[in-house]
Amino acid sequence: MDSLWNDQEASRFVGPLAQRVYTSRLLGRDRSLVLHGGGNTSVKIRERNIFGEEEDILYVKGSGWDLETMEAAGFAPCRMAYLLRLSKLETLSDTRMADEFRIAVTAPAAPMPSVEAILHALLPAKFVDHTHADALITVTNAPNGEERIRELYGQCVVVIPYVMPGFKLAKLCAEIFSRHAGPETIGMVLMNHGLFTFGETAKISYERMVDLVDRAEKYLARHDAWEIELPSAAESKTAQRLEIAALRREVSAAAGSPVILTTYGDALGLGFARRADVSTISQRGPATPDHVIRTKCVPLVGRNVRAYCEGYQQYFQTHTAGRQLTMLDPAPRVILDCELGLCAIGRTAKDAAIAGDIYQHTINIILQAEALGGWRALPAQDLFDMEYWDLEQAKLKKSGRSLMFTGEVALVTGAASGIGNACVESLLARGAAVIGLDVKPEIERMRDRENFLGIACDLTNEQRIGESLEKGVRAFGGLDILILNAGIFPKGCRIEEMTVELWRRVMAINLDANIVLMRDAHPLLKAAPNGGRVVIIGSKNVPAPGPGAAAYSASKAAMNQLARVAALEWGRDRIRINSIHPNMVFDTGIWTPEVLQARAQAYGLNVEEYKTNNVLHAEVRSHDVAELAAEMCGPLFAKTTAAQVPVDGGNERVI
């Protein structure tokens, strides 16, 4: 492991808190050190309060912040004196400790301090870093882990036996550190948990972390436990989307609500899932107790979700020890399948991505520890106590209601601009994971977020449609909502001037592509946990066609009729399908200022008058259409199918 410190880059961060921000980001850049909000950092600064009195303030990473994107606002300023007084108490529940932390914070808008704030306050250094470094965890979870750590670091670190994070851990660290720390001490190892380093500057503390982790990596290399070969596992070339959607439906039923299921069919996921001993080594627990909550104690091997849930219920009953606890949903968060590979599950796409990322690192740690003599995790009771930790229970009670489409997956065609792009935004705002298809390549770069997948797809290419569905289902697990928006509106052409080429081109995009997509999406929509939903973005030209638009009007009318037939055929599959007929939506790509001006002049109107040339004198925007499309997929329209709703401000010809 190499230091990422750069003097020129660091010079832009002036002052101790800014330097703390800089090195926090350096730690966060390395996924082998921290994952998704894991780890924490702090700095002690002397400041004047409102009374002009000087006091020591601990700026410690706040809950909900990620080291990789750390800002000064992500640190919670806590009065050191208050934290140190708390450390002298004989006992303190973790929930009460969290309440006291809020009292210690000097800024009302600051985030909740890390649960390890007292530990940071106790360590006698200005800067403190804490990570869950993969290499270190591997060594601690191998046979004779503590002996290996002492052999590896000698007097450089103080070793702390495993205790669950919280007040008891802080008390134990204070006691052991005060007895064993010496002039050579630059860090502290928490067995099965992680590594602390500290120093009088941000650079020293950070580079001590790099040094100690580098030693662990080299230790693994010396023991032939660094580069691990996986069994050959070429990615499957056959379509698996129906299998994945069926598995997602079963997991959703176990969870009690729709889930996102992300499949990693790469060499790592498939190779590990196909190991002969996977059913034993994968069942020994997570790499660190911090990962219990997001990946559950052990993954499911195979697809027997019902048996897993029954096993989890038994696990819960065995370890409650008379405590009055409410069982969490028993659905697995990780599934290892010899055909699909690693399947990561979450209530949202972000949750699934976190579970997947954590377990990919866990696979490497397990395999490296196996090479050291055998992978070992904490006892089941310790894992249970972490999963049902009082602080986590409190978080669950405070968590608000889910968004309308949390855990659901939508696909939108023509998603790069106009109504399609607006539909993507409306669905994302309601919690859906969205697959956006468009012929424009920029769709793949439009949004950098876990819950959006842009795919460049020519909808006139049947093979590309199938490939896009496969890619989307591997990303999110299935399909609940289909918004058919893509289409073209060619230049005006009277029937007597119509070419067969123009007619076929319009039909190929506006009609033929949609029947292929509907056909291929049907089994996925049928497997949707809450029933499938389809919305057709039609046109005013269906009830009220205009001259010069024969191909466009006929294609939209045919789609409308197709929607009606689909409603009749698909109702028994719990799939509802409705149509929206917009008109004069001008914030789309086809309506350039020049076209708008020309059309307005043709009607003897200025542009603003032309935009509101309807019964309500209201301008119709893409957002208006998208909001109705999203609501049509929600509970308000749960018992509506084959409806046709205009979004046109009122058109006299339609009325």
Three-state secondary structure of 167-228: HHHHHHHHHHHHHHCCCCCCEEEECCCEEEEEECCHHHHHHHHHHHHHHHHHHHHHCCCCCC
**Distance in angstroms (rounded) separating the CA atoms of residues 333 and 567:** 35
Question: Which residues contact residue 191 at a Cβ distance below 8 angstroms, ignoring those fewer than 6 apart?
Answer: 140, 145, 146, 149, 159, 160, 161, 162
pLDDT at 295 over 80: no
Phi and psi angles of residue 136, each rounded to the nearest 5 degrees, phi first: -65, -45
Is residue 507 classed as helix, strand or coil in its secondary structure? Answer: helix
What residues does each domain of the chain span? 7-222, 241-398, 409-585+620-647
Distance CA 618, CA 582 (A): 13
Same topology for domains 7-222 and 241-398, yes or no?
A: yes
Residues with Cβ within 8 Å of residue 92, at least 6 apart in sequence:
86, 100, 167
- Report pLDDT digits (tens) over 434-490: 999 999 999 999 999 999 999 999 999 999 999 999 999 999 999 999 999 999 888
Backbone φ, ψ for residue 101 (5° rounding): -60, -40
CATH class of the domain defined by 409-585+620-647: alpha beta
Query: Among the listed ranges 20-29, 98-107, 590-599, which one has the minimum average pLDDT value?
Result: 590-599
pLDDT digits (tens, 9 = 90+) for 239-270: 899 999 999 999 999 999 999 999 999 989 99
Q: What is the mean pLDDT of residues 424-431?
A: 98
Q: How many C-beta atoms surround the C-beta of residue 144 within 10 A?
A: 13
Q: pLDDT tens digits for 584-609?
A: 899 887 677 887 888 788 889 999 99
Residue 398: band (very low, low, confident or very high) from pLDDT cuts 50, 70, 90: low
| Six token digits for residue 607 | 């542009």
CA nearest 190: which of 225, 149, 230, 235? 149
Does CATH number 3.30.420.40 belong to domain 241-398?
no
Rounded Cα distance between 453 and 433, Å, is 8
Q: What's the rounded Cα separation, in Å, for the pair 216 and 195?
A: 11
Contact 412, 485 (CB under 8 A): yes
Strands 194-199 and 187-190: antiparallel
Could you tell me the pLDDT band of residue 294, with boundaries at 50, 70 and 90?
low
Give the residue among 152, 158, 187 at the shortest CA–CA distance from 172.
158
CA gap 586, 577 in Å, rounded: 26
Residue 262: what residue type? Answer: T
* pLDDT cut 90: percent of the chain above it: 80
| DSSP, res 32 | T
Contact 287, 139 (CB under 8 A): no
Question: Reduced to 3 states, what is the DSSP secondary structure of residue 573?
Answer: helix
Q: Tens digit of pLDDT for each residue in 117-139?
A: 999 999 989 999 999 999 999 99
In contact, 367 and 219? CB cutoff 8 Å: no
Cα within 13 Å of Cα(602), Cβ side: 6
Q: What is the pTM of this model?
A: 0.92
Name the token pair of 521. Answer: 């999406």
User: Is the pLDDT at 297 greater than 80, yes or no?
Assistant: no
Give the pLDDT of residue 499.
94
For 309-320, b/e burial (b = at least 16 CB within 10 A) is beebeebbeebe
Cα(532)–Cα(570) distance, rounded to whole angstroms?
A: 9
State phi, psi for 484 to the nearest 5 degrees: -95, 100
pLDDT score at 27:
97
Architecture of domain 7-222: 3-Layer(aba) Sandwich (3.40)
Residue with more model confidence, 378 or 497: 497
Residue 234 has pLDDT above 70, yes or no: no
Residue 112 DSSP code: P
3-state secondary structure of 569: helix
